[in-house]
Amino acid sequence: MESPVLAAVMAAVSAAAVVRILVPPRHRLAGRLRPYAALGRSRLGTGYADVSVVSLVSTADQSVLWRVLGPSIEQGFRFLARRFDIADYAELEVRLRQAGMTQLDPLQYRMRQLATGVGGVTLGAFLGLTLLGSPGGVLLLMVAFGFPAATVQRNRVQRAIDLRRARMRTEVYTVSQLVAVHLRTGHGPVEAIRSVCRLGRGPVVEELREALNWMSGGALPQESYERLAATTPEPSAARFYRLLAASARSGGDIAGALLAVGDDLRAERRDEVARLAVKRRTAMLVPLLLLIAPVMVLFVGAALPSLVLGPVR
């Protein structure tokens, strides 16, 4: 009697976990707008500082139960999720930024990772109880389903980083050329970056726009560009940012250097595309050889008896 009940409970938990992953809950707009409204009201004279208002609003949205048990639950999430991913919170925050997932913080990532891992383990236990029925089989299926499910989020972030790097690799050349054109027409370095960010889109433009936001907050251009170079996932974009940082430090004209960097990046991209084309042509030969070689061997082998033994009478 206990086995069907346990199997039913595990099936329900697995179904809920799968639905949670496939159809995530919608984020309410009120929670996103409340900090901005609170900041506006604080500037009109509520008596709270801006940072205090933001902290009060963030804690006001939480229930009493979560305020009491939340820290312990978060520590448990950190401990369990760290078993599946060795990256610490600082490194994980950088990886999420490199993947373009700025709306996802490390704690949410850990919770999703833990949820998928628990869902995989539960599904493996349910299949083991229903199909095999032995403790060894249940443990084997729990490991077989749990480990791939726990690495889903990490693989997703890595794929996003690789895709973003490929986009940045093709975009850096165009951005450097546009910045050089704006510098040649009399714009300043920061104004040229601002003009390109006003009209362009893409991961490189997003990072430059983030640097402009840091500058608007009081950061130096050199520090902003060096920070981008240290956190960007693409080496060619880091080279472009270091050139901008050197220009902000020395104050010289870098239009010619940007054009030279753009030409180098275009040449590197052309060589990369040529190497990729050779690899793909080589990969296309493999199925042809696998299909043609057995047929040719059969044709040659069919003629060997008559060649060695003579014609059959």
Confidence of residue 70 (pLDDT cuts 50, 70, 90): low
CATH architecture of 167-263: Up-down Bundle (1.20)
Q: Which of 62-66, 209-213, 214-218, 282-286 has the lowest mean pLDDT?
A: 62-66
Please say whether the beta carbons of 208 and 196 come within 8 A: yes
| Average pLDDT of span 79-84 | 56
Q: Dump pLDDT digits (tens) for 205-216.
A: 888 888 888 888
pLDDT of 85 higher than 70? no
Most confident of 5-19, 207-221, 258-272, 276-290: 207-221
pLDDT of 58 higher than 70? no
pLDDT of 229 higher than 80? yes
Domain boundaries, the chain: 2-150, 167-263
What's the pLDDT at 50?
42
| Average pLDDT of span 102-106 | 76
pLDDT of 83 higher than 60? no
Rounded Cα gap, residues 212 and 85, in angstroms: 33
pLDDT of 240 higher than 60? yes
What's the pLDDT at 262?
77
Rounded Cα gap, residues 256 and 183, in angstroms: 10
What's the pLDDT at 77?
59
Q: Measure Cα distances from 268 to 164, 193, 236, 243 in Å.
A: 18, 24, 10, 18
What's the pLDDT at 39?
58
**% of residues, the chain, pLDDT over 90:** 0
Rounded Cα gap, residues 142 and 261, in angstroms: 52
Side chain identity, residue 65: L
What's the pLDDT at 49?
45
Compute the residue count for the chain.
Answer: 313
**% of residues, the chain, pLDDT over 70:** 74
Torsion of the alpha carbons at 153, 159, 162 and 166, rounded to the nearest 10: -140
Higher pLDDT, 171 or 79: 171
Enumerate long-range contacts of 257-261, CB under 8 Å, 24 or more apart. 258/176, 258/177, 258/179, 258/180, 258/183, 259/176, 259/177, 259/180, 261/176
Confidence of residue 74 (pLDDT cuts 50, 70, 90): low
Which value, in Å, is the radius of gyration of the alpha carbons in the chain? Answer: 29
Rounded Cα gap, residues 258 and 249, in angstroms: 16
User: Residue 43 has which token pair?
Assistant: 């500037």
| Average pLDDT of span 161-169 | 87
What's the pLDDT at 1?
45
Residues 6+ apart with CB under 8 A from 270: none
What's the whole-number average pLDDT of the chain?
Answer: 75
Confidence of residue 265 (pLDDT cuts 50, 70, 90): confident
Please say whether the beta carbons of 180 and 255 come within 8 A: yes
